[in-house]
Structure 1
Amino acid sequence: MLKKMAVTLIFTTMVFSTNVAEQSQAASATAMQAQTGDQLYPIEVNGKYGFINGKGKEIIEPLYDGYGYSGVSGGKVYVEDHAAKKQYYFSSAGSELFEYKLRGASVLFNDRALYTTQVQNADGGTATRYGYIDSHGKVSIQPIYAKAYNFSEGLARVNVGKAAGYINTEGELVIPYRYSSTSDFSEGMAAVMLAYGGKYGYIDTTGKLRITPRYDHADPFSNGTAVVYVNGKYGYIDKNGNYLLTPQFSMAQPFSEGLAFVERNGVTFYINKKGNKVIQGFTAGGLFKGGLAPASQGQRYGYINTSGRFVIKSKFYWADDFNGELAVISLLVPNSSEEIRGYVNRSGAIVWPPASELPNGVTKLQ
């Protein structure tokens, strides 16, 4: 039963980081139904993969060997057919976009997907190079990069040699190769390291250094703030590099909807941007998405609102942040060690697996 209804999520950030499959092209044409929709969620049934929409309706029937998806609203997905050695890309509405060779390209971000090819070196050897295809499966950026990453906010970080820079979706170099370490852009900012073993600072989308490198580690911006790590402690900065909260936490999550879950002196709680404790009494907490965050007081997980009150009672073995209309949750089968993963909606109803397929006793948790 566990294998039958397990849900496996793979958030792809680099080429070949997902493993999903599909049947033949003919089978895909009948299994993929063009539906209206905005976001798809992967499901697994008996070792095969497909996708549902935010209402729990099957959009792509679980017939395939693997999958890839971005996990963003309106994002494209692909499924793999190991027998045919192909993967097929689909829109969030379930309409087929194009086919590609199996594991030859990654998920589409900003309508660009990484692909690889082998090139011959001057010494006769071969090397892997990265390029990008578009949402029609056509080469849009030639494979000249030794390293390359997915697009984010219209820019992708790439390496020709050891140094990294950023290109736009047309393949134009807009931020020169000058960094030893880079990150994706988030809220118009990216954390970078100028020299190997140095400190992290932040640049904007023009390449201008906005925050001087001085952090041991620096996270992406979220909710107008970023978590930074200095001398063994975490703190928060704004986009000017000013400290909202000086490094003082042993654990710090990003701010989401004005709140962040942190740990200090062995105690966990939510703070606001002034550093005030606003929600206490939880041993685990996640990000707020649309007013809800997963949280636990020690045994089971539920979802709280920004006042710290459970609006979806703590009945889950584990719970993830909401992603659009659904969140991944885990249930334990009564009198068993089996774990079932599925999806819950914002009303607290389990939309996948269907109630008719849940083991006896599990439905009582709803």
Structure 2
Amino acid sequence: MNNLKLLILALSCSLVLSCSSTKDVKDMYLVLKVDTTARYEQYAYVNQDGQTVVPYNRYLLCYTDTIRTIGFVFKPNVGCVAINNKGKELFNVFMANNGNDYPKDGLFRILDKSGTKMGVANMKGKVIVKPKYDAIFPYYEGLAAVAVGCKTVRPQDDPEHEYVVGGKWGFIDKQGHEIIPLKYDSIANHRRFKNGKALVLKDEKFFQIDYKGRTLK
């Protein structure tokens, strides 16, 4: 009988600890701290208990005030990086307008270690598309334009802007499926769908397609 009571007590304690552990992980978050006493601002992250998780000077800039799932920081010699609510680095992030890529429908663009291939991740820190494309444009109407074989150029007479030229283009959905094959020479109008239509170029001819890649007349 005593052994049975001990077994029940042990199982009860195990269940309580398990539930407590699950709750702790779910409720974990990081809060940004800024030290303005130095010549340049310094950034750190503390957890919900006030403990330092990301120390000062690890990152040059921090773009996220409170990290409940993931946040964005700038790492010297690397660029923008996503970290989770434990301070762990997840992947490199494409930069836009001197900051992290702005999420569209909870999705944003990521980079491989070389910074040459692009993929897609969500705001839970899950990689949806591993970096394999040479270009990915933001999602519009549930689809994102992607390309392989293209290159980015910066004209001498307009050095502040970059342009993507060449390659083969198509579209992926929010799950990363190539629902419109990469067979077009270009996609016009900011490389996106508008009102269910996209203007594409193939064999030196422009024409419109729908969400399924069917030619519209």
TM-score by length of 1: 0.33
After superposition, what is the alpha-carbon deviation per residue over 1:296-329, rounded to whole angstroms, capped at 9, x for unaligned? xxxxxxxxxxxxxxxxxxxxxxxxxxxxxxxxxx
User: 2-side partners of 1:130 and 1:249: how far apart?
Assistant: 45
Letter paired with 1:197? G
Corresponding residue number in structure 2 for 1:159: 74
How many angstroms does 1:159 deviate by?
Answer: 1.5
Corresponding residue number in structure 2 for 1:235: 170
1:218/1:227 contact within 8 Å kept: yes
Letter paired with 1:157? F
RMSD across aligned positions (CA): 3.5
Corresponding residue number in structure 2 for 1:245: 180
2:140/2:192 contact within 8 Å kept: yes
Residues 1:179 and 2:117 aligned together? no
Corresponding residue number in structure 1 for 2:213: 275
TM-aligned CA distance change 1:217 to 1:119, over 3 Å: farther
Runs (5+) with no aligned partner, structure 1? 1-115, 121-125, 132-142, 280-366
User: 2-side partners of 1:117 and 1:259: how far apart?
Assistant: 49
1:181/1:196 contact within 8 Å kept: no
Corresponding residue number in structure 2 for 1:215: 133
TM-aligned CA distance change 1:211 to 1:117, over 3 Å: same
Letter paired with 1:188? G
SS in 2 for 1:180: strand
Equivalent residue for 1:254, pick from 192, 195, 199: 192
TM-aligned CA distance change 1:128 to 1:242, over 3 Å: same
Equivalent residue for 1:146, pick from 30, 39, 60: 60
TM-score by length of 2: 0.52
Structure number with greater Rg is: 2
TM-aligned CA distance change 1:269 to 1:118, over 3 Å: farther
User: 1-side partners of 2:208 and 2:87: how far apart?
Assistant: 37
Equivalent residue for 1:226, pick from 140, 144, 149: 144
Corresponding residue number in structure 1 for 2:201: 263
Corresponding residue number in structure 1 for 2:120: 202
Letter paired with 1:258? G
How many angstroms does 1:130 deviate by?
Answer: 7.9
- Counting helix residues as a fraction of each chain, which structure ranks higher? 2
TM-aligned CA distance change 1:263 to 1:148, over 3 Å: farther
Corresponding residue number in structure 2 for 1:282: none
Q: Share of identical aligned residues, percent? A: 24
User: 1-side partners of 2:200 and 2:36: how far apart?
Assistant: 46
User: 2-side partners of 1:175 and 1:199: how far apart?
Assistant: 24
Letter paired with 2:72? R
Runs (5+) with no aligned partner, structure 2? 1-33, 45-55, 95-100, 150-166
User: 2-side partners of 1:214 and 1:189: how far apart?
Assistant: 16
TM-aligned CA distance change 1:159 to 1:224, over 3 Å: same
Q: More deviation in 214-223 or 174-183?
A: 174-183
User: 2-side partners of 1:251 and 1:272: how far apart?
Assistant: 15
How many angstroms does 1:259 deviate by?
Answer: 1.3
After superposition, what is the alpha-carbon deviation per residue over 1:179-211, rounded to whole angstroms, capped at 9, x for unaligned? 333322111111101312342111111101112
SS in 2 for 1:257: coil
